[in-house]
Amino acid sequence: MARIFITGSVDGLGQLAASALVKQGHNVVLHARNPERAKYGLAKVPGAEAVLTADLSSMEETRDLASKVNKLGDFDAVIHNAGIYQVSEKELTRDGLPLLLAVNSLAPYILTCLINKPKRLVYLSSGMHKQADPGLTGLRQDKPSVTYSDSKFHNLLLAMAAARQWPNVYANAVDPGWVPTKMGGPGAPDNLAKGFETQVWLAGGSDEQSKVSGQYFHHKRQSRYLRQGDDVSVQRKFIAFCETQTRIPFLKGE
Ligand SMILES: NC(=O)c1ccc[n+]([C@@H]2O[C@H](COP(=O)([O-])OP(=O)(O)OC[C@H]3O[C@@H](n4cnc5c(N)ncnc54)[C@H](OP(=O)(O)O)[C@@H]3O)[C@@H](O)[C@H]2O)c1
């Protein structure tokens, strides 16, 4: 059985993936934005091993979260699931960064760099990444500006870059479909169960078919993605931006 850490796992797809993995007998550590949400999450996923707290809009709290994860020991898999959608592109964090960029792009970058190397990494992207600006022109160091689509393209680039840097880790991105969570809204047309089964399958790691890396999945099938996701120069541009903003170097190669 595997030990799995999932960000943003007290609600939505994260919570559903956590519950499914616990039911399969895995040890799952949850993550919530604050103690109140942590209590809520433990009540929803009763078999969880623990819950850690951090507001991912804060770089300091996100760094601390990585330390808390490492203090619990090694993990087989990390699912980078937490995300936000309907926020103003102008809303800034206490670090002075766009909220969308901090939570959706920089937090998974920080956690990828600072959490001890797992065997499997799963990044929640979205079909909406196809509307991103593949030139990353919004990633100006002085005044960055990103859309939700841009941030989901960043998740894909991070998965591809991690897969390249750590060839013995399975690192993949997932498009869960448009599903009825708090984020997706009640009218979302896609199947909610199919929205978390791919993450569960990749993180659980027992199926030979899931032992691939640098792929983008939709409903357990490899799917088409923005071709610039494979462009190493675009990946490097994103990584260089994150390194400067966070002052955390990217993964060392093997
Ligand atoms: N739903 C869809 O249709 C859809 C489609 C494509 C991709 N996705 C992706 O799938 C992932 C999960 O989405 P979802 O639909 O499950 O969304 P959700 O229901 O809104 O859940 C998002 C989770 O992230 C947490 N979170 C948000 N901001 C946070 C912060 N600053 N600090 C800590 N935790 C934070 C939320 O905590 P709280 O519960 O406390 O707010 C919640 O647990 C996201 O990455 C999203 O981009 C979703």
pLDDT per position as a tens digit, 13-37: 999 999 999 999 999 999 999 999 9
DSSP 3-state assignment of 235?
Answer: helix
Does 74 reside within a domain?
A: yes
Ligand 1, pocket-test mutation among 11, 30, 129, 154, most atoms within 8 A of CB: 11
User: What is the bridge-based pairing of β-strands 27-32 and 3-6?
Assistant: parallel
Does 229 reside within a domain?
A: yes
Q: How far is the CA of 253 from the centre of ligand 1 (A)?
A: 30
User: What are the CA-CA distances from residue 205 to residues 144, 168, 209 (Å)?
Assistant: 36, 13, 9
Does 254 reside within a domain?
A: no
C-alpha span between 83 and 141 (Å, rounded):
22
3-state SS, 16-51, equals HHHHHHHHCCCEEEEEECCHHHHHHHHHHCCCCCEE
Q: How far is the CA of 183 from the centre of ligand 1 (A)?
A: 6
Q: CATH number of the domain at 92, please.
A: 3.40.50.720
User: Is the CB of 39 within 6 Å of ligand 1?
Assistant: no
The sign of the CA dihedral 53, 29, 6, 10 is negative
User: H/E element holding 170?
Assistant: strand 170-175
Q: For 238-251, what is each residue's pLDDT tens digit? A: 999 999 999 999 99
Q: Can you give the pTM of this predicted structure?
A: 0.98
Residue ranges making up the domain that contains 51: 3-246
Q: For 39-95, what is each residue's pLDDT tens digit? A: 999 999 999 999 999 999 999 999 999 999 999 999 999 999 999 999 988 899 999
Which atom of ligand 1 sits closest to the CA of residue 183? 20
Does 253 have pLDDT greater than 80?
no
In contact, 151 and 101? CB cutoff 8 Å: yes
Does 253 reside within a domain?
A: no
Structural domains counted in the chain: 1
Helices marked H in 72-168 = 99-100, 107-114, 148-165
Report DSSP letters for 65-95, one per residue.
HHHHHHHT---SEEEE-----SS-TT-B-TT
| Long-range contacts of 41-48, Cβ-Cβ distance < 8 Å, separation of 24 or more | 41/9, 41/10, 41/11, 41/15, 44/10, 44/11, 44/15, 44/19, 45/9, 45/10, 45/15, 45/18, 45/19, 47/22, 47/23, 48/18, 48/22
Does 87 reside within a domain?
A: yes
C-alpha span between 253 and 233 (Å, rounded):
16
- Our measurement of the distance from residue 19's CA atom to the centroid of its chain's CA atoms, rounded to an integer in Å, reads 18
Q: For 119-171, what is each residue's pLDDT tens digit? A: 999 999 999 999 999 999 999 999 999 999 999 999 999 999 999 999 999 99
Owner of token pair 């989901």: 152
User: Catalytic site residue 148?
Assistant: yes
Does 251 reside within a domain?
A: no
